[in-house]
Structure formats: C-alpha cells, structure tokens
A and B are shown apart, each in its own frame.
Chain A
C-alpha cells in the first residue's frame, strides 16, 4: 500500500503537477496568451475536429466489424479478430510511416485517390486517416462483449410478436448497444486528441493548417518556450480529464439499465 502510493506519486503525480506549476508561472494573462494564441487555437481545432471525425468513422465501421465478428462465421475470422488489435501492438511511428507511404500521392492507395481528385495525405484528411487507425479497436472491443451478451431470445421474442428485422434493429439492438457505443466512441476520441506518433508523418505539419496540438507542444519545447509548452499541455490535460469524467458518467448511466 505504502509502496504503491510512493511509486504512484514519484512517477505520475509529482511530475504531472509540474506542468500546472510551470504554466502558472506565466501569470494569468501570460497563460491566456499562450493557451489561446491563434496558432494554438488552430491546433486544438484540428486535433479535436479530426479526432471527432475519426471517432464517427470508427463508430460506424467499428460497429459493423463487431457485428460481423460476433454474429457471422467466415473463414479467416480468427485472423481478422487478431488484426483488429494491431493498433494496440504496432508502434505508432511504424503506423505513421506505413500510412504515409500508402496514402501519399505516390502510394498504392493515394495514387488511386488522387485520380478522383482526393488528396489523402499531408493535410487534415491524413490526420483523420491516422486517427481512424489508432481508434478502431476501442470501438470494436467495447461493443463486442455487449453484442455477445445480447441474448438472441430477446430478438426472437420481438420477432414472434411480429416485429420486422428493421424494427428489431432499431428498437431492440440499437438501444442496448447505445451506452457501449458511446463509451467506445469517447475512448477513440480521447485517444485521438493526444496521439502524436502516427499522425506527424502523414499530417504535413503546416502551422495553422495541419499542425496538431501535441506537435505544437514539441515545437514550443524545441524553442525553449517551456511555459507555453506546459500551458498547452494543461489545456489538453483538462480536456482528457473531462473526457474521463464523461466516459465514467456514460458507464455509470449504462449500469443503471443492466
């Protein structure tokens, strides 16, 4: 118990307090100037916006993937099941260069997209692609156990009472999935906001255009602007803390219905 608390404090809590103290050193006006400069605002906008879009994409395709994994039998299912966890096991830098080489205008997929006029790398679209990669398993793995527990007899009961397939999906399956879906969505979003390694290779990193917030922290740090770096970190920590609260609230709300 004592050991646990000591290690936790030394490794996590005391260093984390350093960002708050460092950014407080700028004073109130200095904090506001660093936290909400034009460049920082654009970076938040991109980080949060791209994470949101990626989370929506994952919410859709992740749900289909979870459905296929739970309900269907098909050859190669075990492999597909393992591959879904790839973003957890693959180093983010490797994912970054792989996605960049694939979706760049000269890459396998990028070249085909370029022919139809879509630019998929070195712009915000690239950021969304990287964050989709990172967030996918969160949605699939939160939905899977709920789908598995969703007893088939409820659907059978609904059908025997005369409900059609569409109304079963709309009235029985979707409401049961909603809390897990929201949780997975929020987790994919939260992970995307802080993600760095997989994004920087495909983003292009143009200030005001395709520069994510974590990258801006590194840039400030390289220019010895420790206060400004810490301030952006405080804003991001605040948002992650908020996300943590939201996720816990969703889970608490979901438990009331189980």
Chain B
C-alpha cells in the first residue's frame, strides 16, 4: 500500500519533465528579452566601431569630469546615508517610543516618491524662485544647478537603503548583549563599537553596496537639479543622456557600458554577500522600492 502513495507524493511536489522544460523555456526567453539582451546591447553598441572608439569616448574631458562628479557624489551621499542608517536603526531597534511605526514609514518614504518629484522638491526649496532662493543668491551660494543640489537629490533617493537593511537586523538581535555590556561597565560608545557594530557589519555592507549602486546611477532626481552643464554638473547617467540625444551612440553606450560594469560588480558582490551571510538576505522584508 505504501508504494503507490510514495510515488503519488513524489509526483505531487515534482512537476513532470515536459512542464519543467516548458516553464524554464518561457522564463529564459522572457528574462533574455527583458534583462539579458539589453545588457548585451549596451556592450555591442559601445564596441560597434571598435574598442578604440569606445575608449576614446570615455576619456574625453567631459566624460572624465562626469566620472569624477559621479564618484564625488557617491563619496558624500553613501557615507552620509550609512551614518544616518546607523543612527536611525539604533534609535528604532534599541529603544521604545511612541510613533515608532510612523518613523519607519517616514524613513521609507523616499522609496515611494518618484525621482522626478525628489528633484522638484529641492528646486522649490533652494531654486531661484524657492524659499531660500533670494537668501542664497545674496550670499552667492549655488545649490540648484550645482554640485550641492546633485548631492542633496542623491542623498534623498538613497536615503532608506542602509536604514532599512539594518532596522530588521538590529530588531532581531534585540538589546540583550548591549545591556550585558553596559552592566559590566562599558560606556555607550564602547558598547556601540564593540558589541553592536560587529553584529551588523554584513548588513551594513549590503546596504552600502545597494546605496552606492543607486547613488552612482540615479538619473531622474539628479536630472531635475543639475542644469546639465557639461564638465561641471553632469554625472555619468546625465552624460549618457546628452550623448544619446546628440546621436553620438558609440559615446553614449561606451559610458553606459562603464555603468553596466558597475552594476555587474554590484550583483557579483551581492551574490557573494548572500552566500557568506545568508541571514542578511533572510532578514529582508521587501517594501516598496526596496531592493531585496
């Protein structure tokens, strides 16, 4: 009597071969059309006139200035958001206070705001017609159509990455270890650096990685505040747009290929992190706009 049941059970959780082949075929064709072919197209278009032309396109002064600005923006925005993420997750996970759920929702808010709206709000606050427009003009400080605006917009769109990676992780770990450290006479800072930080370093790395990818690749928000001044306020994605709209396809795709390499490195590191530290991945609960 047991044999048929076992066979039946096997069949119940395992699809027949033809279904497996069919499902896998459909999935692969779909992923190829939507994800893999576009990635290949970038490199193919970039190398259309040979590697020399592609290299020449990424080493023009304007392209190099764009690379520099992108690196500078990420170098400010990522550490800033990492520090904020540490503060916020510390405040949320290790303390109890009314309105905690609201605070978490507010931290997540930038994920559900269109990037274009994210740029717009800074134009309304700091632009020439904005709230502080005249004051800034009087003191000769430029934020919109200048580097500070680009950094601000980037900070906004990448705001939740580290915090939302760390909050669930810290909540899961609770505050027992910290209380033990404090009861043995450790100060607040010592406790933080010696007890809390080692526990969350993988999650922190994961958040920083995703934050960095978005910071270097942000387009919509930065496009609104940048003013597109070549060599001055053009980030790499904006440079791609300008070249593309000028029908300089080799140039556009060559710079785009650099950004693709960044994306591929990000995905490889992310896969490695998920293998090294599976619980970081498991601690994630996907929310709007939140990379998993």
Contact = CB atoms under 8 A, between A and B. Distances in A.
Q: Do A and B come from one complex?
A: yes
Nearest to A95: B38
Interface in A175-231: 183-184, 187, 190-191, 193-197, 201, 213-215, 217-218, 221, 224, 226, 229-230
Given A133-B35, A158-B12, A159-B11, A190 B112 contact: yes
A64 interface: yes
B115 interface: yes
Interface in B235-270: 236-238, 240-241, 244, 249, 252-253, 256, 259-260, 262-264, 266-268, 270
A71 B112 CA distance: 32
Interface size class of B (residues with CB under 8 A): 35 or more
A136 B42 CA distance: 20
A194 B114 contact: yes
Nearest to A7: B84
Interface in B72-103: 84, 87-88, 91, 95, 97, 103
Contacts, number: 278
A194 B219 contact: no
Contact of A8 (B35, B106, B121): B106
A12 B106 contact: yes
A102 interface: yes
A101 B114 contact: no
A80 interface: yes
B288 interface: yes
Contacts of A218: 116, 223-224
A98 B42 contact: yes
B57 interface: no
Contacts of A221: 120, 123, 224
B183 interface: no
A94 B240 contact: yes
Nearest to A226: B129
A80 B109 CA distance: 30
A61 interface: yes
Interface stretch (B26-34, B134-142, B170-178, B192-200): B26-34
Interface of A is mostly: helix
A94 to B, nearest CB: 4
Given A156-B9, A236-B114, A243 B288 contact: yes
A90 B152 CA distance: 21
Interface residues of A, number: 95
Interface in A123-137: 129, 132-133, 136-137
A86 B113 contact: no
Contact of A98 (B12, B41, B127): B41
Given A89-B267, A217-B120, A97 B252 contact: yes
B216 interface: yes
A18 B113 CA distance: 14
Interface in A1-35: 1, 3-5, 7-8, 11-16, 18-19, 22
B223 A133 contact: no
Given A88-B291, A132-B34, A196-B116, 14 more contacts: A12-B159, A61-B30, A80-B27, A82-B268, A89-B291, A92-B219, A93-B241, A93-B256, A95-B38, A97-B256, A133-B35, A159-B9, A201-B244, A226-B127
* In the A-B complex, the 5 residue pairs with the closest CB atoms: A91-B217, A194-B114, A159-B12, A197-B219, A98-B38
